[in-house]
Homo-oligomer: A and B are copies of this chain.
Amino acid sequence: MTDSLPITNRSRLRRSHPRGHFDRETINAILDAQPLCSVGYVMEGKPYVTPTLQWREGNHAYWHGSSASQALRAGRDAEVCLSVSILDGFVLARSGFHHSVNSRSVTLFGTAFKVEDPVEKLAKLTRFVNGLFPGRYADLRPDTAQDLKATTLLGLKIEEGSAKIRSGGPNDEEADYALPIWAGVIPVQTEIGAPIPDPRNLDGVAMPEHVREFKLGSAYGKKQE
């Protein structure tokens, strides 16, 4: 319940530290809410950032792509920094300086590893598909051995990192509350649109529940753990 990551020199928040969180519950909730992440890695001493999709299973985060991918090859057995960030709103204050955003973010550090075992790899990819779209994998044309071979799966143990959360209205200087300036929050949300069926869907193929009821983060949060 109060399972927390240790606070290391690298993960300790120095700015706005009261907004920092190290408990797994908070970190996991943010990872589960937003599959889009940015993976940072170093090649020849220089920084690279690649947007990709992550998913969580227990105390690990995973991501996937081509076995020929630069990002996956450079990340394997090397230090990475995985960042997830969700913009929840703009905070409008009475001075420019006190403007901010409401947000939830996670930063993870560690050495990424490659999932080599083909059975484990398929199980994890199945979980990736079903985590987004509960039950979908069983409906699909099975992936071929060749496709699986072309796929690299990297994992990162969630053992060093932090979450940071800001919510609520502006924090202005006390004197500024007397000024006739509109302050407040403009909320920002992610909205799921009406599904667009492929024109080549066969007649009579109904839209499955995992499409009709699609919600970001729903499967991980509610149905699988």
Q: Are A211 and B184 in contact (CB under 8 A)?
A: yes
Q: Are B105 and A51 in contact (CB under 8 A)?
A: yes
- Interface residues of chain A: helix, strand, loop or mixed (majority): mixed
* Contacting residue for A183 out of B40, B93, B201, CB 8 A: B201
Q: Are B190 and A49 in contact (CB under 8 A)?
A: no
Q: A208 with B182: in contact, given A36-B87, A94-B140, A191-B190 (CB under 8 Å)?
A: yes
Asked if A4 lies at the interface with its beta carbon under 8 angstroms from chain B, I say no
A179 contact set on B, CB distance < 8 A: 141, 202
Residue-wise interface mask of A (126-149) relative to B, using a CB-CB cutoff of 8 A (1 in contact, 0 not)? 100100110011011111100100
Asked if A38 lies at the interface with its beta carbon under 8 angstroms from chain B, I say yes
Asked if A115 lies at the interface with its beta carbon under 8 angstroms from chain B, I say no
Asked if A14 lies at the interface with its beta carbon under 8 angstroms from chain B, I say yes
Asked if A29 lies at the interface with its beta carbon under 8 angstroms from chain B, I say no
Chain B nearest CB, measured from A59 CB (Å): 20
Residue-wise interface mask of A (110-133) relative to B, using a CB-CB cutoff of 8 A (1 in contact, 0 not)? 000000000000000110010011
A7 contact set on B, CB distance < 8 A: none
Looking at A40, A79, A196, A200, the one whose CB has the most chain B CB atoms below 10 A away is A40
Q: A196 with B169: in contact, given A83-B51, A190-B189 (CB under 8 Å)?
A: yes
- Report the 4 A-B pairs with minimum CB-CB distance, sorted nearest first: A187-B193, A51-B85, A40-B47, A40-B49
Interface residues of A (CB under 8 A from B): 10, 14-15, 36, 38-42, 45-51, 53, 65-66, 68-70, 79-83, 85, 87, 89-90, 92-97, 99, 101, 103, 105, 107, 109, 125-126, 129, 132-133, 136-137, 139-144, 147, 151, 169-170, 173, 176-202, 204-208, 211, 214, 216
